[in-house]
Structure 1
Amino acid sequence: MTTAPADPMIGRLVDGRYQVRSRIARGGMATVYLATDLRLERRVAIKIMHGHLADDNTFKTRFVQEARSAARLAHPNVVNVFDQGQDADMAYLVMEYLPGITLRDLLKDYKRLTPEQTIDILDAVLSGLAAAHKAGIVHRDLKPENVLLADDGRIKLGDFGLARAASANTATGQALLGTIAYLSPELVTRGIADARSDIYALGIMTYEMLTGEQPYVGEAPMQIAYQHANESVPAPSTRNPSVPPELDELVLWATSRDPDERPADARIMLDRLRELEPALRSTALRGASGDTMVLGTRDLAPTAETRVIAPAGRSATGAVAVADEEVEGDAVALANAASRRRRRGYWLLALVLLLTGLAAGTGWYFGAGPGSLAPVPQTAGMLPDNAAQALEEAGFQVEPAERTDPEIPKGQVSGTDPDEGALARRGSVVRMFVSLGPQMLDVPNVAGMTEDEARAALDAFTVADDSAEQFSADVEAGRVIAVVGADGAAVAAQYPERGAMTLVVSVGPVPPVEGRAVAEAQTLLEDAGLKVEFTDAQYSPDVPVDVVITADWLDDPMNPGDTVRLTVSKGPEPIAVPNVVGKTMSEAIQILEAAGFTVEKELPEIFWPIATVQEQTPAADELAAPGSSVRIVGSITL
């Protein structure tokens, strides 16, 4: 079976401190992971900029700007930023980890929210946004994805990736930023953003919470932008009649096309919301409208709301003298009406109790019952039985599956779907993957390639940063000789995915030093990174003294740091000088030259046949090198 490649960040230690556990979310600029701060022993969310943006100074500046903007805010409704830094070419941001969901997830599940739920979320977001506006920070990317709803009930505003210090007119200075569905008219038309632009986006969010849909839709982003710039947002009650008029007015105020007609900042809108909250949260039941029945009176004139009951054929002014039977009939009618009202009240009370029970049951179901969300436990590296037990104890059903994994040994759990740490409904099915071990891949032939070419061809494997160097008379320096595995043996035709391997790269041939003077030979070998040792010098009839006879490799193949053993010549082996004293000069010369010596003579050649050798140097039987000189002294006896 084929599987998506594992995220290389999982398991990585960032900056020597943050151990990455699992991926939480991925955005346009960065990916957010769940990590453990090993120094403080706590879970954090670490946001890591995408690698392809690392060389873009604009994006890197915005990324660092998010850290600085958010770090300036200390508010219960703003996600805390703990740290920011760079590990090699990887920029990262460490934030508070909030197990839970986003407002977008909530809207996907429930389509639209009740006015009471909308008020709760709006109050929290406005509180955090008011703190940002007070600090002079404009968020510029308000949308449901950036509103976090924690499992413990906290509501926080996050992702200040587009935040910028506010001025009278803060321009983007580049293409429009933010999500098109929430852009204010002034951002669309002039590229200008201030606190009132955040208010507009929040108004669109409120409309979406109350109606379950955005006010403007279109097939292309420019169609939506055009509507923002040229149309007025309708009242939410036109889509959802149950929306109170007070919330209608709040949305229309926040989404006015003219920024001057909106709240100047989040604090002003928050104060207005809190003024309206008591009326919005009121649960008083309104009785059905109807006329007020009044027995005939002399002084009370009939109105649209007051009906005077009088006998037939009599005017209202004569109703004082009502017959007893008529009064009795009116009393019966009033009693019946009162009884009907009481019965209607009982039905309303029963309905209220029923709705309360349903609300409580729904709250239990989604809060603590089977419908509640729970994080998927970490199971990677566990045995299947233990992992299944952990998942079942967390409230999930387990569906076993298999997949290859380059890191998890065969037979252990390699992960789950949804991923560990992700929120899923209790009772839902979680797929538990058991590792089949790494996938076996064909190894490309990289012999003869440059090191960079070979690394590119072997990108499916883990190639060591440091290559092994080796001497070769057949492969050009800088080219790959072979590829070896973790055991040092040459890799086979197939090798495990992401398996560790090392390139063996040629550094050229071992310098040839035979026939060179010993000092020169030693310098050449040591400059090539080799060690030199010497054997006992040997006699050689063909190699001069102190010249290298042989250079033996103590390892084959040879690598830098290996040893070469040199044998140096002592010249020809010495032999005994023949005894020529008493012989004629001619005989002595013949004997010495036959033995391999040269002869130094004092007498002219004419006297050699009659002259007798009186002495010789070296003396007879002394050792001397062949080819060396022997001096003879002759005399003539008369």
Structure 2
Amino acid sequence: MTTSFDWRLPRGTVIRGKWKRSSYRVERLLGEGANGKVYLVERQRAWYAMKIGADAVDLQSEINVLQAIANAKLVSRSEPYLVEVDDYSGTDGKEYPFYVMRYIRGATLSDFLSKRGMEWFPVAGYSLLVKLSELHAGRWTFGDLKAENVLVSDYGRVELVDYGGVTAFGKSVRQFTEIYDRGYWNAGSRSADAGYDLFSFGVLCIQVYDARRLAALAGSLLPQNRSPEELLKLAQSIPALRPLGDWLAKALRGTFSNVEEAAREWQQWQRRTSGRSSSVVPRWMKGLFVASAALLATTIYWLLRTGA
């Protein structure tokens, strides 16, 4: 059972580990889930992401997943992903478990697009598919895929945060947000597989272009009337998403065979998009997309060679 808590740590709070005695200064809240909050923290002039939970058993299962991912080398191998695990004695006298992850500087997907413009979405979206491919190659589903859990750097490079929903293929998804959930929309089970993440990705596409109408649609339908077709009708009413209609249909109906197929078709859409808006999208951005395609191919090749 997941336990939540309401308090937030103010900026400047110093978190000192009970056992390892490392100190971290809180900068700001990055995100929150059902079982904890993720903060941007600083230690010795280096930035990290720290997740603090209310329940040690619940957070430990998440830490076990992260350690398994790290051991399988499914994330960047240039530096450790999971930095430290410890407990924190709160001002209320209770102890809270936490773990520290490497941090990639960036903004949430929604904030990034609001600042930089929607022409960046094809590039950031492709980078997100690359990130998902790393997890899926190890037979892990991210699970709680939503805009708040996607950080984007200056060049459209994506990093996922809050791995609380990561679940091994075949098991019931550990943590999810209803509006992105396949089961909520009567589009399939909550069993972890590649299609679960791709469905959430499809909803994410609609959310970044028209969050208000997506929320209104979800709130207006009776549970038995929710369906992928309702989501597709909404997508078709958004002019910018009409060229992505075939891709969204496959993602929301679960007909992609894997994330690599989804990435290839996304690439085709991105090329058409950048071609139509060449006066807006700079040439170097198109080059970045080509580099991302090469990264996806390299990731798949490396994972096959190592037998992940």
TM-score (norm. length: structure 1): 0.36
- CA displacement at 1:49 relative to structure 2: 1.4
Whether 1:255 aligns to 2:261 is no
- Measured in 1, the distance between the counterparts of 2:270 and 2:196 equals 24
- State the 1:13 CA deviation: 2.2
Q: 1:228 to 1:120 in 2, by over 3 A?
A: farther
Matching of residue 24 in structure 1 with residue 29 in structure 2: yes
Corresponding position of 1:391: none
How far residue 239 of structure 1 moved from its aligned partner, in angstroms, is 2.3
Q: Any residues of structure 2 matched to 1:283-432 within 5 Å, and which?
A: 283=276
Alignment match, 2:39: 33
Paired residue for 1:198?
A: 197
Which residue of the other structure, out of 117, 123, 127, is the alignment partner of 1:124? Answer: 127
Q: 1:230 to 1:284 in 2, by over 3 A?
A: closer
**Matched residue type, 2:182:** S
What's the CA shift for 1:46? Answer: 1.7
Contact 1:69 1:160 in 2 (8 A): no
CA gap 1:106/1:65 in 2 versus in 1, 3 angstroms: same
Over the matched positions of the two proteins, sequence identity in percent amounts to 19
Residues 192, 269 of structure 1: alpha-carbon distance in 2 compared, 3 angstrom cutoff: same
Q: Residue 102 in 1 paired to residue 99 in 2? A: no
- 2:172–2:190: 8 Å Cα contact kept in structure 1? yes
- Confirm or deny that 1:142 pairs with 2:145: yes
Change in Cα spacing, 1:64 to 1:8, as seen in structure 2 (3 Å) is same
Kindly state the Cα deviation for residue 180 of structure 1 after the two structures are TM-superposed: 0.7
Pair 94,163 (structure 1): closer, same or farther in 2 beyond 3 Å: same
For residues 111 and 225 of structure 2, the distance between their equivalents in structure 1, rounded to whole angstroms, comes to 26
What is the match of residue 217 of structure 1? 216
Partner of 1:271: 264
C-alpha distance in 2 between matches for 1:80 and 1:16: 19
Please list every run of 5 or more consecutive structure 2 residues that lacks an aligned counterpart in the other structure. Answer: 1-6, 89-94, 283-308
Deviations 1:42-62 (A, max 9, x none): 222222213xx23xx3x2343
Aligned pairs for 1:583-598 within 5 A: none
Shift of 1:190: 4.3
Q: What's the CA shift for 1:255?
A: 0.7
Question: Superposition pairs for residues 377-526 of structure 1, below 5 Å?
Answer: none
Judged with a 3 Å threshold, the aligned counterparts in structure 2 of structure 1 residues 25 and 224 are, in CA distance, closer, same or farther, namely farther
Given the superposition, is the C-alpha separation of residues 224 and 177 from structure 1 closer, same or farther in structure 2, using an over 3 Å criterion?
farther
CA contact (8 A) 2:169 2:191 kept: no
What is the distance in 1 between the residues matched to 2:145 and 2:83?
23
Aligned equivalents of 1:205 and 1:135: distance in 2? 23
For residue 62 of structure 1, what is the aligned residue in structure 2? 61
- Matched residues, number: 264
CA distances 1:406-456 after superposition (whole Å, capped 9, x unpaired): xxxxxxxxxxxxxxxxxxxxxxxxxxxxxxxxxxxxxxxxxxxxxxxxxxx
* Pairwise CA distance, 1:231: 4.2
2:23 maps to a residue whose letter is Y
Query: Is the 8 Å Cα contact of residues 10 and 20 (structure 1) preserved in structure 2?
Result: yes
8 Å Cα contact 1:33-1:47 kept in structure 2: yes
Post-superposition offset of 1:9: 8.3
Match of 1:48 among 49, 52, 60: 52
Distance 1:224 1:91 in 2: 39
Cα distance in 2 for partners of 1:243, 1:138 equals 25
In structure 2, distance between residues paired with 1:12 and 1:5: 13
**How far, CA to CA, are the matches of 1:228 and 1:97 in structure 2?**
37
SS of 2:145 mapped into structure 1: coil
Change beyond 3 A, Cα 1:237–1:200: closer
Structure number with higher helix proportion: 2
Could you say what the CA RMSD is over the residues aligned between the two structures, in angstroms?
3.7
Q: Work out the CA distance in 2 between the residues paired with 1:254 and 1:65.
A: 29
Partner of 1:234: 232
- 2:86 maps to 1:86: yes
* Structure 2 CA distance for aligned equivalents of residues 219 and 210 of structure 1: 15
Larger CA Rg, structure 1 vs 2: 1
- Give the match's secondary structure for 2:262: helix
Distance 1:103 1:73 in 2: 25
